[in-house]
A and B are shown apart, each in its own frame.
Chain A
């Protein structure tokens, strides 16, 4: 089955800095890569996603890059704000499956 590794497990930055979270996957047939943000005591919410036919996607301060050759994709948050503090999960969906495999999550802490 698919194996998804997410790093780092915790990330602490100063307000205004950039944050980068990386995920690697094993199945070269994977074709859908969403990122979710989970605030304390709440369910995850989709913040951005990318499909295998695209290398990069941006939405204001958030961007995702995909390197299919190396089988990794990354979440980039610029100009971080305290409200960005949360747990972020990557997920991978393989072409032969409709159930995503989640990474273990990254706890991002943005210090004012």
Chain B
């Protein structure tokens, strides 16, 4: 089955630690995206990548980092610099960088700082 997979589903982090959220897709999509979802806030863009080895900051990139070394993978690192990291994180992909086509979302990772 083709799709986009996020792992883990739940993640707990101690304050001061970096954590990495995994996102893998086997849809052969060029573009991948990371969103953060908070109650009542909708979806806010963290980072996006239109092509391998290239990525751009979104609206709320501070405290996050990404890499795009392979077409199918776009991991997100939540660093200790992110002051309020507890949230639901969604990864998405689309066929090309225009996103004028259907976006496929993963099932999300819920990160909690303890």
**Which A residues lie at the B interface, using CB under 8 A?**
6, 9, 31-32, 34, 36, 41-46, 49, 89, 93, 98-100, 102-105
A91 to chain B, nearest CB (A): 8
Contact check, B40 vs A49: say whether CB atoms are below 8 A apart.
no
A19 to chain B, nearest CB (A): 19
How many of B's residues come within 8 Å of A, CB to CB?
24
Measured in the bound complex, the distance between the Cα atoms of B42 and A42 in whole Å is 14
Complex interface: chain B residues within 8 A of A9 (CB): 40
Contact check, A104 vs B42: say whether CB atoms are below 8 A apart.
yes
Contact check, A105 vs B42: say whether CB atoms are below 8 A apart.
yes
Candidates A45, A93, A105; contact of B99 at CB < 8 Å: A93
Q: Which residue of A lies closest to B35 (CB)?
A: A102
Q: Which residue of B lies closest to A100 (CB)?
A: B99
A9 to chain B, nearest CB (A): 7
Contact check, A103 vs B105: say whether CB atoms are below 8 A apart.
no
B106 interface residue per 8 A CB criterion: yes
Contact check, B48 vs A99: say whether CB atoms are below 8 A apart.
yes
